Structure 1
Amino acid sequence: MKRLIRSLSAVAFSVFIAIPDSGLAADGKTTEDDNTYVTVSTSHGDFTLMLYDETPLHRDNFIRLCNDGTYEGVLFHRVIKDFLIQGGDPKSKEQQAGVAYGDGDGGYCVYSEILPEKFCKQGALIDAKLGDDVNPTRMSAGTQFCVVQGRKFTDEELDKTEVRLNEWNKNYLYHISRYELMLEDPSLSDPANGDTLNAKARERAASRYAEQGAITISPERRTIYKTVGGTPHLDGSVTVFGELVDGQDVVEKITLMATDDADRPKEDVIILSTKVWKK
C-alpha cells in the first residue's frame, strides 16, 4: 500500500473509553438523531461529515481539532482521482507554492480503532498513517484525515482485490508478530538476532493466518462497491471513523483537479473553517 503520509510521530495519544449511545429510548423506539456532524468549508465548496460513536478516540480527536481552529487555513495537500482527498497537515498553512506537504501530524498519533463493520465505501472518513513495516500497530497521524472518493468495481476486480487483501494481511501479521516478539523478548531487537526474530515472526504470522482464514468481501459489501464505489483495498487496514453525508459533488470536484507530481492540486484547496454541530 502506498503510504498515506510521509512521516508519523511516535508520541502516544492518551487512552479513554467512550460507550456509544444505543440510539433507543426506554420503550425501545428510536431516539432523535444524536450523531455529531462536521461541516468543512473549503475554497472550493462545503461538505458535511457524520462522525461514528463506535470510534470514540478518533471522533473526539477530530472534534477537538475542528473546535480549536487547527484546520483553518490548511490544505488538502494530496488529491488523487478515483481514490481520495487528504488534508490536515498543520505545516500546509504556510501554503508555499511547490512544497510537497504531508509530513506534519501535530506531533502525536491516535491508537487504531479498526472495526470489521466499517469499510471504505465512497464518502468514508478515514485516517492517514504510515505502512505496517514502520507502523505495525496502525496508529493514525494526529491531525491528518482523508475522505474517500474511490470508484465502482466489477466482480472480477473485487476478486483480485481479495487476493491483494490477503497478501497484505499476511504482511501485516508478519510485522505485528515481529513487534510483539521484540516486546516479549528485548534481546530479539539486537541485529545479531535478526534471523531468529524473522523466523519466529514468520512462524507466528503463518499460524495466525491459518487460524483466521482467508479474507473475503461479503456479497453485501460487493454490492456497495459495485453500485456506489469506494476503495476496497484499504478495508481492514485503516480506521474508518465517519462518513460523508452532504457535499459529494464538492469532494468529486476536488478529486478532478489538476495536480503536480506530489499529488498536490495546482490550485490550492484551502480549509476555511470547520463547524461541529448536532441536529
Structure 2
Amino acid sequence: MIRNILIFILIAVAWQSNAQANYPIIVIETNYGTMKAMLYDDTPVHSNHYLKLIKEGYFDGTLFHRVVKDFVIQGGAQDSRDAPSGARIGGGRTDMELMPEFRENRFHKKGALAAPRRGDNENPQKKSDASQIYIVQGRVYTQGRLDSMEMAVNVPIRNEIIRTHYLPHKEKLDELKAANDASGFNALLDSLLNVVDSLYAIAPGKFFLPQELKEAYTTLGGIDRLDGSYTVFGEVTEGLEVIDKIAALPVDENSRPKTDAKIIRIYIE
C-alpha cells in the first residue's frame, strides 16, 4: 500500500516537473528588486526568441520606459540604454516581429510577461514587436464585473432567439392567460422556453471566461482587454511586489518614470 502511494507521488511530481520543462527560469534584476519568471512551453516562437535575447544580454542596462499604474510596466527598448533624463524613448523595431501565439489559457493576469506590438491599423496580423517586453500589473476585478462582461455578449444572443422564437407566440399566450387556461398556458410556455434554451445552447458567438482566468483576475488582478490581442509568453513567479514598486513611480507626460527604473540584467537562473 505504502509502495503504491509512493509511486503515485513520484508520478505526480514527474508530471508537474514536465509541465514546463522546455525553458529555464529567468531572473529579471532591477534597481527596485528582483523577479523570477517562467517562459511558456506552448508559445515556443516567442519563448525561444526571448531566451536567445536574454542569453545575448540584449535587455541588460535598458529601462522600463513606459509605466502605467494598474496597467503594465514596459521596457527593454534599445534606445533606453543610457538615455538622458526626460528623453522620449521606446521605439519598436520592425526587424524583430513575430507572428502571434494567442492561447486561451495564457491571459493577462498580474505578472504576465508579454510582447508589445504596433496598432491594428498598421499591423492587422497582430505581429509582436519582439524587441521589448511588458509585465502586467493590472487591477483586481469583482466577480460581478466579470459576469457582466459575459452577459454583455450573451444576453443579446439570447434576446434575439426570444424575439424570433418566443414573441410570435405571445398573443396566443395572452389569450390562454385571459381564458384562465393555466394548463394550456403552461404547456405552450414550457414548449417555447425549451426551444429558446435549446437554440441558445448551440448558438454561435457566446462568450465565457475560463474559470482559471476568473480566479486570477478576482485575486491577483489583470487586464482583460488585452487578452487575445497580445501574446503572453511567460509569467513572473516570484517578486510580484517589484512590479508594484515600479508601477507606483511618478512619470512624465510620456509615461516614463521620472526616476529611472532600470533592468540591470536578465539572466538564466
TM-score after normalising by structure 1: 0.68
4+ residue segments displaced more than 4 Å: 25-29, 159-166
Residue in structure 1 matched with residue 180 of structure 2 by the alignment: none
CA distance in 2, matches of 1:219, 1:213: 18
Of structures 1 and 2, the larger Rg is shown by: 2
| Deviations, residues 40-95 of structure 1 (Å, cap 9, x unaligned) | 11121111110001101110111111111111111100011111100111111131
- The aligned counterpart of 2:224 is 232
Displacement after TM superposition at 1:164 (Å): 8.6
Distance 1:99 1:214 in 2: 46
The equivalent residue for 2:64 is 76
Distance 1:221 1:260, change over 3 A: same
Equivalence for 1:276: 268
- Equivalent residue, structure 1, for 2:15: 30
8 Å contact from structure 1 (residues 112, 239) kept in 2: yes
User: In structure 1, what is the equivalent of residue 239 of structure 2?
Assistant: 247
Give the secondary structure class of the aligned counterpart of 2:242: helix
Counterpart of 1:267 in 2: which secondary structure? coil
Residue number among 250, 253, 256 corresponding to 1:261 in the alignment: 253
2:137 corresponds to 1:145:
no
C-alpha distance 28-49 of structure 1, shift in aligned 2 (>3 A): closer
Cα distance per residue 1:190-245 (max 9 Å; x no partner)? xxxxxxxxxxxxxxxxxxxxx95143324442232112211111111111100010
Shift in Å, 1:155? 3.3
Deviations 1:138-169 (A, max 9, x none): 11112111110111012343355558999xxx
Shift of the 37–212 alpha-carbon distance from structure 1 to 2, 3 Å rule, reads: farther
State the aligned residue count: 210
Structure-2 separation of matches of 1:142 and 1:270 = 19
Helix, strand or coil for the counterpart of 2:15?
coil
| Alignment partners' CA distance in 2, 1:155 and 1:249 | 24
Contact 1:89 1:106 (8 Å CA) reproduced: no
Shift in alpha-carbon separation, 1:99–1:38, aligned structure 2, 3 A: same
Identity of aligned residues (%): 35
Name the structure with the higher helix share.
2
Q: Unpaired runs of 5+ in structure 1?
A: 1-24, 167-210
Q: Which of the numbers 105, 116, 128 marks the counterpart of 1:117?
A: 105
> For the aligned residues, what is the CA RMSD?
2.7
**Structure 1 range deviating more: 61-70 or 100-109:** 100-109
> Using the alignment, how far apart are the partners of 1:219 and 1:225 within structure 2?
10
Offset from partner CA, 1:87-133 (integer Å, 9 cap, x none): 11111113122122121337321111111111111111111012222
- Quick one: distance in 2 between partners of 1:43 and 1:93? 14
Alpha-carbon contact 2:57-2:267 (below 8 Å) kept: no
Task: State the partner residue of 2:114.
Answer: 126
Tell me if the contact between 2:29 and 2:265 (Cα under 8 Å) persists in the aligned partners.
yes
SS at match of 1:66: helix
CA offsets 1:163-187 (integer angstroms, 9 cap, x no match): 8999xxxxxxxxxxxxxxxxxxxxx
Equivalent residues in 2 for 1:168-179, closer than 5 Å:
none
| 2:74 is equivalent to residue 86 of structure 1 | yes
Query: Gapped runs of 5+ residues in structure 2?
Result: 1-9, 155-202
| TM-score, with length taken from structure 2 | 0.71
- Is the CA contact (8 Å cut-off) linking 1:161 and 1:233 kept in structure 2? no
